[in-house]
Amino acid sequence: MTHKGTYAASREVRLAEHTPYTENRDRTLGYLLSLDADTMLYGVRRTFGADTRGAVPPGGWEEPHGLLRGHSLGHFISALSLACAETGNTALSDKLSYIISELYELQKRSHGDPAAFVTACRPGSVREEDMSRDPSVWGEGYIGAYPPDQFALLEMLAPYPEIWAPYYTLHKLLAGVLECYGRTKNETALGIARGIGNWVYARLSAVSPARRAEMWGTYIAGEYGGMNGSLSELYMITGEEKYLDAAKMFDNGEIFGGLYEGRDTVANKHANQHIPQLVGALAEYEATGDEYYRRAAENFFDIVTAHHMYATGGVGRGERFFDGDRQAENIDSDKNCECCAAYNMMKLARGLYALDPERAEYMDYYERALVNHILPSQSRTKKRHMHAGVTYMLPVGPGARREYSDDLHTFTCCHGTGMENHVKYWDSAVFVTERRGVPTVYINLPAALEYENAELGIKLKLKAHFPFPEAVLTLSGEGRYDVKVRVPAWAEGQTAAEGEHFAPGRYVLVSHGAGESEDYPFSFPYEPRLEYLPDTVGGRRVAALMYGPFVMCTRDKSKEFITLHIGGDIKSCFRPLLNREAGAFAIAGLGREFVPLYLIGDEPYHTYFIIE
């Protein structure tokens, strides 16, 4: 029912500087510092009739009349919390405390019984001017950048785009204040979370289970993010049963039940409407020990990675899953692989791994998505109005070209998750368990780092030069402990450590004696290989070219598939082009140069190729 270990805390893990990870992080830190707190509070203040303090309103999905406004504020709070935990930057912590304090004061203006609120709008006749302006009837605990009319309309099964995912937006705020409490122990943030939990419990308790099931099955309008997970977390923090009861009110039986039985119930469904539901189901398992939730989440992960995933770790076309094993026919030059979907699939992998840290396949996926989807999702170029531009989609079709958000006018869900993604590269690198008094440290990600736990007497350093495969693990400290280094699935038996070979998908074990200091060099050699999609394009096989963990792309603006003529031995077709001083590499062959996806900038590229 409980984790067998824990991920190392931010204060214990330090990433080496001047790597692609820390470059992305530093751009994001600059953006978080530059983003005006009053701008992000604009929508909530306006909704509650409070002074907006001359702030410039945000744009995109956050514009003042947008039906999803307020969700990015939740992501902003999460990102600030993560950044404060890693850096201790006082300007960031001051900004975070200010936002939490202002939200709490606004939340106190909401009064009344949450279940008693009634909207003057009706499905087919939804106008903002008809929505409530009176917080005294919204229900105690309510907080948001629009009045609760959308929630009442969802209960009437109003469709998208008349309404737009009210519980999703509320979840982002709840997740944000819980992140703040978890990272900084801000009690005011926990108070806001309690208020939201109380409001949700009261509101949904008055809705029949049958109607709730209809709500959660409604396309986009019924999207609720990971509300079940955050409410489960709130229950585990407070011990108050009503929050667990509220979490269960979001159980999507139509989806969960089939997944529990091993059936694909998400084919042709909105991808990121459902991925967070299974992340939440895993939290429900942690809270209850009910295997129903765990098995549904495990089967979902297996189904998605086996039958819906591209080589980057991304999924879907135009925000939707499609029929399983139809990836090739759904390749698109600009509409594949929503970044929010990868963000949540990584959360799911992280949660599943924590339940069984010997299951290296979860971290194999995490690594795949990290280096091929999240790392490339941020622009490596800063502009005047784009400190840390991020993509909505990370397309994989012929001649694909990424588009990046700006600082203020193009807020989307992926802009929100993009604020979080790049300030938590340390988040899953180290996992620690303890058995019979001896700690075991799992090293899972290809990042140069230092980990120190004074209480356990652990001090280790992984010296690596990302993106190259060689590394040296130095163990020291006064404690006795074991270290397990993940052998990636892509290593294909080529992994070498002290002259030995190890099977991929497992761990190399080394032990540290108290007070000793030892170096362990190892290498995961990169070899070119092809990852084929299960279906074809016009009867022709299609594959991504991989090199170690990296998806290798070629720059080309053609919208037609490029054909690679590969003979019997793929290794003979390519030679490495290394620039160790610049920390970059490519492979050349078949008349082309191929580079990791994260090194592609604004130029068009190809990720998949017809293979002959």
Residue 536 and residue 328 in contact, taking contact as beta carbons nearer than 8 Å: yes
Residue 325 belongs to a domain:
no
pLDDT at residue 567 in the model: 84
The domain boundary, picked from 204, 223, 242, lies at 223
Collect all residues with Cβ–Cβ distance below 8 Å to 445 and sequence separation of at least 6. Answer: 363, 366, 367, 370, 428, 429
pLDDT at residue 436 in the model: 87
Residue 476 belongs to a domain:
yes
CATH of the domain at 437: 2.60.420
- Identify the domain containing residue 169 by its residue range: 35-223
> Same domain, yes or no, for 460 and 599?
no
Residue 534 belongs to a domain:
yes
Three-state SS string over 100-160 comes to HHHHHHHHCCCCCCHHHCCCCCECCECCHHHCCCCHHHCCCCCCCCCCCHHHHHHHCCCCC
pLDDT at residue 584 in the model: 86
Residue 441 belongs to a domain:
yes
Burial of 325 (0-12, 13-18, 19+ CB in 10 A): middle
> Same domain, yes or no, for 606 and 515?
no
The domain boundary, picked from 178, 206, 223, lies at 223
Distance CA 98, CA 93 (A): 9
Residue 343 belongs to a domain:
no
Going from the C-alpha of 229 to that of each of 77, 197, 362, the distances in angstroms are 18, 12, 19
> Same domain, yes or no, for 456 and 498?
yes
pLDDT at residue 599 in the model: 95
> Same domain, yes or no, for 476 and 539?
no
> Same domain, yes or no, for 141 and 188?
yes
Residue 333 belongs to a domain:
no
> Same domain, yes or no, for 58 and 138?
yes
> Same domain, yes or no, for 78 and 215?
yes
> Same domain, yes or no, for 567 and 456?
no
> Same domain, yes or no, for 584 and 501?
no
| pLDDT above 90 as % of the chain | 92
Residue 161 and residue 219 in contact, taking contact as beta carbons nearer than 8 Å: no
Q: pLDDT digit string (tens) for 48-86?
A: 999 999 999 999 999 999 999 999 999 999 999 999 999
> Same domain, yes or no, for 109 and 190?
yes
Residue 115 belongs to a domain:
yes
> Same domain, yes or no, for 454 and 599?
no
pLDDT at residue 493 in the model: 53
Residue 55 and residue 38 in contact, taking contact as beta carbons nearer than 8 Å: yes
pLDDT at residue 502 in the model: 59
> Same domain, yes or no, for 191 and 69?
yes
DSSP summary character for residue 224: -
Task: Give the chain's domain count.
Answer: 3
pLDDT at residue 506 in the model: 87
Residues of the chain with pLDDT below 70 are 1-3, 492-504
pLDDT at residue 501 in the model: 52
Residue 590 belongs to a domain:
yes
Do β-strands 481-487 and 506-512 pair in parallel, antiparallel, or remain unpaired? antiparallel
pLDDT at residue 1 in the model: 37
pLDDT at residue 435 in the model: 87
The domain boundary, picked from 160, 192, 223, lies at 223
Going from the C-alpha of 532 to that of each of 80, 232, 529, 564, 597, the distances in angstroms are 40, 39, 10, 13, 17
Give the three-class secondary structure for 258: helix
Do β-strands 13-15 and 605-606 pair in parallel, antiparallel, or remain unpaired? unpaired
